[in-house]
Chain A
Amino acid sequence: MYIKITDISKSYGTKENRNQVLSRVSMELEEGKICVILGASGSGKSTLLHLIGALETADSGQIQIGGQEITKMPEEKLSDYRRDFLGFVFQFYNLVQDLTVQENIEVCRYLTEDSLDLEELLRVLGLSKHRDKFPAQLSGGQQQRCSLARALVKNPKLLLCDEPTGALDSKTAGELLILLEQINQQYKTTIFIVTHNEEIRKMAHKIIYLKDGMISKTETCEHPASAASLCL
């Protein structure tokens, strides 16, 4: 899935309270690649991810995903877009507290007829023995793996990860990144990872540095390092 972002701007508030979060940001990403967006707090990296995920609407500019222009899509179409193409992983997991691990994953499996094999996914993510547990009964890492399984079960073409390791210890964070790498390689899933952890950039094909809502630097890497080699 080819992603093309052109002159995207986004601000919050009006008049004197106006806060320009993104200013004329443009970038491209080829299908099946990993892109890491880096930047300090308030640099606009999460906003950029939300715009790609159609969670927010841009003030101006265009976002093309697989040839479809999403910035002008009506809400119903956007819902279909998220349903058919996207998977989300959040820093705070956002699991439904009164559903078990398996049921949380089924929330997204229900949305597609072409889902990945649930058993296989549970096994790959090491959740088989936790399938009947509730989120409150899991560790942070297990919860994030559940969140990842939920995002992956519908076999999305684009996976958006907002600070996926932000709430994890370094060991668990490393395990999660290895999983993301495996998924990218196995399913050719395009992955965006928003983080402020510079080490994660090493596993990316493309690194976008954001500063005060603008791209300050872009790097590409033909052969990124393996996730297992990262020193988190």
Chain B
Amino acid sequence: MGKIFWKRTFRELKKNFLRYFALWMLVILSMFLVVGIVSSAQSTIQTINQTAEEDHLEDGEFTLAVPLGKEAIQNIEKMGVTVEAVFSLDLKQKDNSVIRVMKNRRSINKIHISQGREAKQEDEIAVERIYAAAHHLNPGDTITLADKTFTICGIGTTGDYELCVQNPSDAAADGDIFGTAFVTPEAYENLKKSGAVRQSEDLTYAYHLGKDADADEVREYLSGRLLRFETAENNPRIKPANGDVQINIRAGLAAGVIVLMMLAFVISVFVVHSIDKESSVIGTLYAMGVKRKELLTQYTMLPVLICFTGGIIGTILGYSPLALSFLGGETYNYYSIPEIEICCRPALILYGTAVPAVTAYAVNWLVIRRRLGETALSLIRGGMKEKVSYVHLRTRSFVRNFQIRRILREKRSCLAILAGMLISLLVLDLGLNCYVLCKKIRRSTMKDTKYEYMYQLKQTPDTIPKGSEPAYAETFSKENMGYELNLTVIGLKKNNPFFPAVKSHGKDEISVSSSVAQKFHLEKGDTLTLKDKADGENHSFTVVEIVSYNSGLTCFMDIDGMRAVCGRGPEDYNVLYSDHSLDLKAGQIYTITEKKDVIKTGAVFMDLMMPMFFTMTGCGILIFLIVLYQMVKVMIDRASHSLSLMRLFGYRDRELKRLYLNGCFTVTGAGAVFMVPLAKWIMDQMYPSFVANIACGLDFEWEWQLYFAVYMGVIICYLIIQALVMGKLKKITPEEVLKQRE
């Protein structure tokens, strides 16, 4: 019996090859997507955590105005804390990019070299990976810093600059405009003396807490001379990728459940159709003494095999470098992390390989079990009988009636089409929301950045340089869905030409930008509480207005109010905005930010998100095409007897299409009218959590043209499938009616 069943299974596969192939592809694609997203994320987290341990990632860092003396260091070390100076010099290159040069690290935040080695000679330098890639630098190449030529001896990354931004409050990293580099202590001292340094030396120390050591104790000890104190958890430069990909894991697992439900539904339609078609055979075999178990094995074998092999291939592809580059590539290209090593988790492998097969088995088992609940005789007699919905239609048009009857009869397939459409649209919308958000960030950054230069000052000049606008800005933090986000609050003078006019007055009022309002769901009259990153204190403000400004997460106050919040004097300012370059001394400047760099960082998201966008769009379209093909094909297969009969009566292809396919077209077209906005609405509810840790607004509203384009995409997909199925429909001949008798 087993041999015969195998033969039969093989023949069934041969006969319906395209259908099984489509199911196989659907499983492969679904598992590739789910396993790919989750495994890329897990591998990224594993690699980052492992590297952090190996390279002794800091527990925090602090920046001072003057270096610590020997005694102070000893005092801190007595608290069980290891301290290492990570001083830096910002050097501008000919292409206007900035290289932050530091000494080789000794014990904390050690450089993770991916190519070459650390600098050993005075003329050697190890360059950060993203900067090196953006500037096409390789070991053996040379770069010039302060008129001195350095040979690149290595390319690497450090954990304290995983998000490699010049200022912790910068919205995005961009290797084109900023990177780090490491030289020997001697080379560093020479550079410091060279006079080419644009800004004063940054005096930051990294610390490592020993057993029972407390960061707050260190903060207290340093208070008074502290410019910045940040624990690793609150430092936006440290391990931001983990947060990003953690979201991917959640999204991937959610997608996994949704995809499984869709698979189960598609398989159930598939199986119900096959079993209905075979019901007289099942009845005959049953009558002849074949056992339930044998029948179950026979009829579940093929779909289970298809799903099992599809699951294995999908899982292998999901763990492949291909998936890592498509689905995890943007993490590697954006964050300064070492090469991601693929890590295999048994639970995910089990999900990818076993779950599709188990789903297929379970669905088959349920359907066949229900069928075998009937008597053998009723199975034999009812072999070709189909369930009919006894609905009386009032419409007088025969064609309309016929189409409605088809839809009623094929409601399960129609539902599967709509479910497949919704799931595909969700996948597609994830990609499109990414695209729209990035596009809007780029556009608003260009629109809202009106200054040409922003100087963050260490010391204010004696007089305010002509043509510049002083402001007092501080970075605060606020929690959003479990992530600490940096917000910049700028205290502005009245009639500041570079920012919108603000109404807020005094230290209790704040004007929030539209991006902040979206991100934190703020409205006029709400209270906004922000945490001061230096002293950890909370400040509460009343939102007096929402101003149209979408570049990063920014709030505005009047400068006097801001000075009062930060405990500064009436003439104090720490930022200068200007439409031209200012003649300031290097020692006065903390950082210089140019408009073109800000605009570039706004565009960087777009470039990074493109592979993800294309993968999501491609997968969404493919899933929809496969589900649509499967379901329309099932409908046509189930109607093959009546189609053959129609042909016998003299119906032409065009008329058959009108009767049998146009109803489905109506379902798809009308369904898309609801599904496109529904999927967008669902995705809009989920999407903020996917970008919870990114310092940007939440403006991913679509233009009507995009809705229309998605709708037309659905229609085009249907027309493609219709053309494919028409080929099959044309092959149905009148003779078939003679073979298929009730």
A residues touching B (Cβ–Cβ < 8 Å)? Answer: 50, 53, 55-56, 76, 79-84, 86, 88, 90, 92-94, 96-100, 103, 106-111, 132, 134, 136-137
Contact = CB atoms under 8 A, between A and B. Distances in A.
B387 to A, nearest CB: 9
Contacts of A93: 742
A108 B389 CA distance: 22
Contacts of A110: 398-399
B735 A97 contact: no
List the 8 closest pairs (A to B, CB-CB), nearest first: A83-B650, A82-B650, A106-B398, A98-B388, A92-B741, A98-B409, A96-B642, A98-B405
B390 interface: yes
B222 interface: no
B669 interface: no
Interface string B728-742: 000000110110011
Interface string B385-402: 110111010000011011
A88 B398 CA distance: 20
B734 A97 contact: no
B650 A84 contact: yes
B648 to A, nearest CB: 6
B388 A88 contact: no
Given A100-B392, A103-B398, A92 B742 contact: yes
Contacts of A86: 650
Contacts of B608: none
A103 B405 contact: yes
Nearest to A50: B738
A111 B648 CA distance: 12
Given A90-B737, A92-B742, 19 more contacts: A56-B735, A79-B652, A83-B649, A86-B650, A88-B649, A94-B645, A94-B741, A97-B386, A98-B405, A98-B406, A98-B408, A98-B409, A103-B398, A103-B402, A107-B398, A107-B649, A108-B649, A136-B385, A137-B390
Nearest to B639: A96
A95 to B, nearest CB: 9
Nearest to B642: A96
12 contacts: A50-B738, A82-B648, A82-B649, A82-B734, A83-B650, A93-B742, A94-B742, A97-B388, A99-B401, A99-B402, A107-B398, A134-B390
Interface of B: 385-386, 388-390, 392, 398-399, 401-402, 405-406, 408-409, 641-642, 645-652, 734-735, 737-738, 741-742
Contacts of A81: 650
A56 B737 CA distance: 12
A100 B390 CA distance: 9
Contacts of A53: 648
Contacts of B741: 92, 94
A136 B735 contact: no
Contacts of B650: 79-84, 86, 111
Contacts of A134: 388, 390
Nearest to A81: B650
Contact of A55 (B385, B392, B406, B648): B648
A81 B647 CA distance: 11
B499 to A, nearest CB: 68
Nearest to B741: A92
B644 to A, nearest CB: 9
A180 B297 CA distance: 51
Contacts of A100: 392
A125 B386 CA distance: 27
Contacts of A137: 390
B640 to A, nearest CB: 12
Which has the most chain B C-beta neighbours within 10 Å: A83, A90, A110?
Answer: A110
Contacts of A136: 385, 388
B66 to A, nearest CB: 88
Contacts of A109: 398
A136 B386 CA distance: 10
Contacts of A106: 398, 401
Contacts of A103: 398, 401-402, 405
A218 B611 CA distance: 79
Contacts of B388: 97-98, 134, 136
Nearest to A93: B742
A99 B735 contact: no
A96 B734 contact: no
Nearest to A56: B735
Contacts of B409: 98
B648 A88 contact: yes
A55 B652 CA distance: 15
A98 B389 CA distance: 7
A221 to B, nearest CB: 30
B735 A55 contact: yes
A92 B738 CA distance: 10
Which has the most chain A C-beta neighbours within 10 Å: B388, B392, B406?
Answer: B388
B361 to A, nearest CB: 31
Contacts of B406: 98
Nearest to A162: B738
Contacts of B402: 99, 103, 107
A109 B60 CA distance: 84
A194 to B, nearest CB: 12
